[in-house]
Amino acid sequence: MTRADPPDPRSTKTRILDAAEELFAIRGYDGVSLREITQAAGVEVALANYHFGPKEELFRQVIHRRVAEHCDGVLAALDAAQVAAAAGGRIASVEDVVGAFCRYTFTKTVTGGLGWKRYFQLLSRTALSPVYAPVLAPLNKPYGVIVRRYVAAFQAALPTLPPGHLYTAFYFLQAMVSRLLAETQVLDRQSQGRCHAADFEAHLARLVPFAAAGFYALAGRPDVSPSPGFEVGVPSEGPGRAATRDPAAATGPATSL
């Protein structure tokens, strides 16, 4: 830090976590050393060892530190959708539930700052590899609550959908969301620039009817029209969001949560 630089208000531990989150998301666990993380954080290696111990523990804490807030937000989105539907004298539709599942996370990756974007990229990519199953295992409890609540909501919206089809359809939905959160820019390349990996408002508008149609088809109701009560909307950071390019987006395939 030079004399012209303002002091960093973050604690040493937070600076290390932030730097680790970004580097792990961009380069993966094996692609970055503890020394590189501390250099990015502007601290000595000894301080990382003091706060976290080995790199494995730092990685675990990076993975876990945003879980509670994320889960609370996804559940609150479902609560809001169900309350709004009840106010209209109906049960939350498949579109409502799909939208609730996506909206909070998409909004957070757009408006929550670089940290949340990196977190979702890291979580999505890490979840694919069985190597990290022990690190991710504690997440099964909080995310398990989300699964149970959303499965129940889908059952209420579409009681003719067999359980096996329901769980598979929800798994497909999670995989699509995870792929989008990874922002690999495959979409940009395949569409020749017509679509953008960072345009989550467009993703939500397309994903809700697309995913809902799959639920309906598996329930034997492919002719069902989208619910008129559903409204799409993801807060944006401005008109340039769709053209935003992320250096982490070119670092490999996406994963599913």
More confident: 227 or 178: 178
Distances (CA, A) of 255 to 110, 126, 129, 177, 197: 19, 7, 8, 10, 15
In the chain, CATH 1.10.357.10 covers: 67-250
Distance CA 21, CA 23 (A): 6
Distance CA 127, CA 29 (A): 12
| Residue 146 and residue 89 in contact, taking contact as beta carbons nearer than 8 Å | no
Q: Which two tokens stand for residue 24?
A: 């792990």
Distance CA 232, CA 81 (A): 12
Mean pLDDT of the chain: 86
Q: What would the pLDDT profile of 27-57 be if each residue is shown by its tens digit?
A: 989 999 999 999 999 999 999 999 999 999 9
Q: What would the pLDDT profile of 220-250 be if each residue is shown by its tens digit?
A: 876 665 554 545 555 555 433 433 444 444 3
Superfamily of domain 12-61: Homeodomain-like (1.10.10.60)
Would you list the DSSP string of 78-121?
HHHHHHHHHHTTSPPPHHHHHHHHHHHHHHHHHHS-HHHHHHHH
In the chain, CATH 1.10.10.60 covers: 12-61
Q: What would the pLDDT profile of 89-142 be if each residue is shown by its tens digit?
A: 999 999 999 999 999 999 999 999 999 999 999 999 888 788 888 888 888 899
> Collapsing DSSP states into helix, strand and coil, what is residue 232?
coil
The pLDDT of residue 242 is 38
Distance CA 179, CA 250 (A): 13
Task: Please check the confidence at residue 208 and state whether its pLDDT lies above 50.
Answer: yes
| Residue 43 and residue 15 in contact, taking contact as beta carbons nearer than 8 Å | yes
The pLDDT of residue 256 is 32
Task: Please check the confidence at residue 254 and state whether its pLDDT lies above 50.
Answer: no
Least confident among 7-11, 38-42, 250-254: 250-254
- CATH number, domain 67-250, options 1.10.357.10, 1.10.10.10, 3.30.300.90, 1.10.3720.10: 1.10.357.10
Question: Which of 72, 98, 110 minimizes the C-alpha distance to 231?
Answer: 98
The pLDDT of residue 226 is 52
The pLDDT of residue 138 is 85
Instruction: Report the length, in residues, of the chain.
Output: 257
Residue range 74-86: mean pLDDT, rounded: 98
The pLDDT of residue 221 is 72
| Residue 234 and residue 181 in contact, taking contact as beta carbons nearer than 8 Å | no
Task: Please check the confidence at residue 253 and state whether its pLDDT lies above 60.
Answer: no
Burial environment of residue 126 by CB neighbours within 10 A (0 to 12, 13 to 18, 19 or more): buried
